[in-house]
Amino acid sequence: MNPDTSSPSAVTSLSETLPEETSAQMPAANAPAQTSSAARSPQSSSTETPAPGPLEDTSPQTAWENTSPQVSPQDTLPQTGSEAAPSSISTETNPNLQVQFKSEEGRLLLQLPPKPENSRSPISWSDLWLQLKQRLNGGERFWQPHTEVHLVAGDRLLDGRQLQAIAEALKESQLQLKWVYTSRRQTAVAAATAGYSVDQNSAVSHFSQTPKATGQALADPLYLQTTIRSGVEIRHPGTVVILGDVNPGGSVIADGDILIWGHLRGVAHAGASGQSKYRIMALHMQPTQLRIADKVARAPETPPARYQPEVAYIGSDSIRIAIATEFTRVHLARSFG
């Protein structure tokens, strides 16, 4: 499958007529005690599923390797002598343009100032770094040791080296970088590659947990070439494509489709904004839990004799699992026949 990232609405939609498969009724997400197994369709013995080819990337903005932003020489980490002679940072500066630690809903937030394109005095990386060190080394600490930090980067572009520098500075103060909230795709990719939980959004509205209006246009697909390890969560207001595995304890939550070009052993939640037309696809489907919109299911207790690429979708008000080749053949036959 070649996701098209040319427009926000270019997300694979398979919401037309679905193949008739054996169904297992799934309860709503608010009744987890009654969760049952998703029904897998029987594997066909007459056809042999070809080995999947490599994932192609036809969009110029979805290159798989080195998607982190490049750092200009003036934005590299300050040298040893730089910290002894910090740049002029006025104490009367707007607080919104300074590095801030906040406590919100039980979370310790590290909020970075934006980097306006047209600002007369933008906060450079060197100034940001000095502000962070001053906050950490100052006497106004209100957090407990070993507290997890939620980094709110907003529209500021950060690469892997800068994220690592922030994490190491926090570690020196007995803090642990756990989450990265960003509206920039490159920052989200760099954070996920580094092993941090990521929430890519244009605002910090996730703290209020306000549901999105259905029918809202999705963001461009997020492409990751990494393994989602235990304890890591990826959130994206669009489709998520992962070239790698999702390990047990890891989770992927997307408002659109979820495509795992590898093993799915963790939790996958497609259509998180409430739309049931989206799908979960994986080369090796062995999830801890599947969610589509408000429906929830766990993997069948009896694994198949041979794993093949499969698709999880909602049919007859429940989650079903079908072999990808059969799902596509029946869907195309009914759509164009």
How do residues 286-308 score in pLDDT, each as one tens digit?
999 999 999 999 877 777 778 89
Integer Cα distance of 112 and 108 in angstroms: 13
Q: Which two tokens stand for residue 184?
A: 């920039």
Neighbouring residues of 26: CB distance < 8 A, sequence distance ≥ 6: 35, 36, 38, 295, 296, 297, 318, 319
The pLDDT score that the predictor gives to residue 219 is 85
CATH 2.160.20.70 fits 10-43+215-337, yes or no: yes
Whether residue 222 has pLDDT greater than 80: yes
Query: Where exactly are the structural domains of the chain?
Result: 10-43+215-337, 79-210
Whether residue 89 has pLDDT greater than 50: no
**Mean pLDDT, range 312-330, rounded to an integer:** 87
**Mean pLDDT, range 225-240, rounded to an integer:** 94
Integer Cα distance of 84 and 62 in angstroms: 41
The pLDDT score that the predictor gives to residue 49 is 46
**Mean pLDDT, range 20-39, rounded to an integer:** 48
Amino acid at 45: S
Integer Cα distance of 208 and 18 in angstroms: 36
Q: Which pTM does this prediction carry?
A: 0.65
